[in-house]
Structure 1
């Protein structure tokens, strides 16, 4: 049965750009640009249910009652370092959003996440929080990041990635069943090194040209 908390954003432009990102022939600059473009496109779906309120404005023709986003400014949280690769598109969409960062690295043997940095806005309890990371592989980093954010007061949380593995989706759904997951694709599986197959390789290395 389809899980209503898991959304695959399968817009044709998203699928096209993601296919280009997957290719080993795609150079760093194009990879980075495509990640930003996909995240902007995904943002429309992720933020579809933002609350709005009526406001009185004056157009060049006449006064009218329009609608604007209401409440505290939302917050984007990037899981370092690769999360910054899709953070840019989200900021393009909502320039006034608050930004936070969580630094996690995966132990190469146990694959468990280890936190080394945490900086988020105040009043997290009053903000919609959108956590971004290009890959949802084992799910342990995303689960740890969201657990940390909840301890900081966040309650309305969404998670956005480009590619997810079924194993990662299952881990995050078990750990945080209240968090909606948005992905451009859910791939076949993880390999023995906890990389997504077919995937697109190491997103951080491809974004920043470090390998």
Structure 2
């Protein structure tokens, strides 16, 4: 067991029979016990993280890393928001669609989410035009709008991943499909796919 620790720092002495042994003071022994306890705690934490990831992969409807940013829909009478499309404030998050909620984790190994959104609060889901990040990387985008006006914009380099999220959210949130074409776009351009909860739109 002692070989697992920093043996160079331990006081080795030779006994009368030629065997080497370690002599520790009470303080050194307590420090060694504390180090053992820390290792056991870390092992337990890592085990809990692995079990959590395994549970997500087995039971979640959908999960994966996406870049996200949040915006608020202006209230009636408020001026339209400033166009900040080019602002690169996307943050990577591990998103989990499980049960009746969308959970937002900083990392897939985190035991608790940073935030969550109830699916019953989602009134609109739609694709967005693709963007080019500052590093030149192309990303496909969509957004989730809640009844409270919170707009969660999500992006990924994978078009298939974005389609999977749109399809899953459309089904789980029970939204109706409404094809629409962006302003200034011709019918030959890609449509923006929109799903809305019509009973919630004022």
Which band: TM-score by shorter chain? under 0.3
Could you tell me the TM-score, scaled by structure 2's length?
0.27
- CA radius of gyration, larger in: 2
Could you tell me the TM-score, scaled by structure 1's length?
0.26
